[in-house]
Amino acid sequence: MSEIIRGKKDGLMLFLIFGLSIYTTALSVTFMLGFKSLIVYFQAFKELSIFLILGYSIWNLKTRIRLHYIDYMIIAFLGYTVIYALLPIGEQAFVNRVMALKTLSFFAVVYFCGRLFKPKEIYLSKYFHYILFLSIAAAVVLLSEMITNQHLQTRTGYADYNFYLFNFEPSGNYGLTWTFESEGGYKRFASIFANPLEFGSATIIAISVLAALYTTDDYKIKLDNFGYLALGASLFSIVFALSRSAFVSYFILVYIYSLLTKRKYIINTIHVCSILVVVYIIYLFAKEQDQNDGLQMVIVGTLNFSNPSSVGHVVEWVEGALAIASSPLGLGLGTSGRIGGTLGGNIGGENQYIIIGVQAGIIALLLYLAVYICLIKEGMKWFYRLEGKEKKICLVIVLIRIGFIIPSLTSEIETSAYTSYLMWFLSGLFVSMISTKVAVKKTTQN
């Protein structure tokens, strides 16, 4: 806030990185210490910060903003879902619909907060280093969890906070939620983040930032000691978060990065490793399953959709798809996702796209998908045209967007403040950058 008051609105990035990463942990500790009356104010601080920066940016606009076609699609999505909140659509009360709207569509406000920034207003290298520093710190906390064989969340009042705020009763063998454990008896750790899924997603952001920060304009990788440390921390974190979707996405990102930068050595190495993994999987399916081999149970159960987690995903997907087919215009806000679960009427959760479709129908879903796809397409188009800071922003957007495709199929990624806010803020910054490029080109031609 002191940075913002002094006119340095890029200070918001400090809060997005360090404040939102510990958001749930900080609130659960606040609750545990008996300050539950303060939680509502702490919760509102992140939205208030975004609105303050957005208002400040609009107030200080010196030229008329030229809207990009992605801007129009995001405005359309926001306007369309606001209608669902204002009109008595569905069974939820107005207050519940507004809560669901915030979860579903607040990313649009974060996007425009970044959209009204100019790349020159942000010392990007500094904040990218902060993201990597955060990933190293998270890995250190993870190491302490493993040494003590105890989740950090068992010491922070996480379960009581979740029950008080979201009406989620403790579940699983560790008194937290089922997401903190995996089939085969393995603990899934979350470090300082809200849960292992968010931890895995945060690692996707870290590896994307690492790739962008240390890639030169001629597509060479120049890692220093800090870069190697961050890379090791990301590998360590992605393994022990045990988020299967994030784990697969991590290596897909490495492959996509290698294709974009034409790193043939990495491409060939991944091809060889992929063949070895396939051979190993065939071997696991061919041999008699050992009930004492936890890793084998996890791998086989994931691939044949026989473990409870995979079965749960499939059931939720089918239920959500049937709901969309029966009500193409949606069942109303608050009928799916985290808000639906809190209200006791969740239909077809555990998939970002299905959650949107169930609540606001096919039109909203298509708009969201169009925005997502177009951001990747624009990133691919501009990557080889840009250089310096702009090239790094472009690469980060392409990698993050591709990296979150699979996690979006198995979770409601927009409920994670850290990953959602950071991803959409950087997306807005990217569109601001390319819009400026297009405007300058048109002016030059005229």
Residue 194 reports pLDDT greater than 70: yes
Residue 174 reports pLDDT greater than 90: no
Residue 306 reports pLDDT greater than 90: no
Q: What is the pLDDT, as a whole number, of residue 301?
A: 57
Alpha-carbon gap, residue 379 to 391, rounded angstroms: 9
Which of 138-152, 157-171, 367-381, 407-421 has the weakest average pLDDT? 157-171
| For the chain, percent of residues with pLDDT exceeding 90 | 40
Q: What is the pLDDT, as a whole number, of residue 4?
A: 72
The residue with greater pLDDT, 2 or 99, is 99
Condensed to tens digits (0 to 9), the pLDDT of residues 43-55 reads: 888 999 899 889 8
- How do the domains of the chain map onto residue ranges? 2-445
Which of 175-189, 346-360, 415-429, 432-446 has the weakest average pLDDT? 432-446
Burial string for 252-272 (b: 16+ CB within 10 Å, else e) reads bbbbbbbebbebeebbeebee
Q: Are 379 and 214 in contact (CB under 8 A)?
A: no
Q: What is the pLDDT, as a whole number, of residue 171?
A: 80
**Cβ atoms within 10 Å of 415's Cβ, excluding its own:** 18
Average pLDDT over residues 241-246: 80
Q: What is the pLDDT, as a whole number, of residue 170?
A: 82
Condensed to tens digits (0 to 9), the pLDDT of residues 80-133 reads: 999 999 998 888 889 889 988 998 999 999 999 999 988 777 888 999 999 999
Alpha-carbon gap, residue 200 to 238, rounded angstroms: 6
Q: Are 338 and 166 in contact (CB under 8 A)?
A: yes
The two structure tokens encoding residue 285: 């399916």
Type of residue numbered 72: Y
Alpha-carbon gap, residue 295 to 28, rounded angstroms: 32
pTM above 0.85, yes or no: yes
Q: What is the pLDDT, as a whole number, of residue 369?
A: 96
Condensed to tens digits (0 to 9), the pLDDT of residues 406-424 reads: 989 888 888 889 999 999 9
Alpha-carbon gap, residue 252 to 250, rounded angstroms: 6
Average pLDDT over residues 227-239: 92
Condensed to tens digits (0 to 9), the pLDDT of residues 312-332 reads: 667 778 888 888 899 899 888
Closest by alpha carbon to 156, among 188, 193, 187? 193
The two structure tokens encoding residue 367: 């708009």
Q: What is the pLDDT, as a whole number, of residue 404?
A: 93
Average pLDDT over residues 305-310: 58
Predicted confidence band of residue 287 (pLDDT cuts 50, 70, 90): low
Residue 200 reports pLDDT greater than 60: yes
Residue 294 reports pLDDT greater than 80: no
The residue with greater pLDDT, 328 or 311, is 328
Residue 439 reports pLDDT greater than 60: yes
Q: Are 336 and 365 in contact (CB under 8 A)?
A: no
Q: Are 230 and 212 in contact (CB under 8 A)?
A: no
Instruction: Please state, rounded to an integer, the average pLDDT across all residues of the chain.
Output: 85
Alpha-carbon gap, residue 25 to 30, rounded angstroms: 9
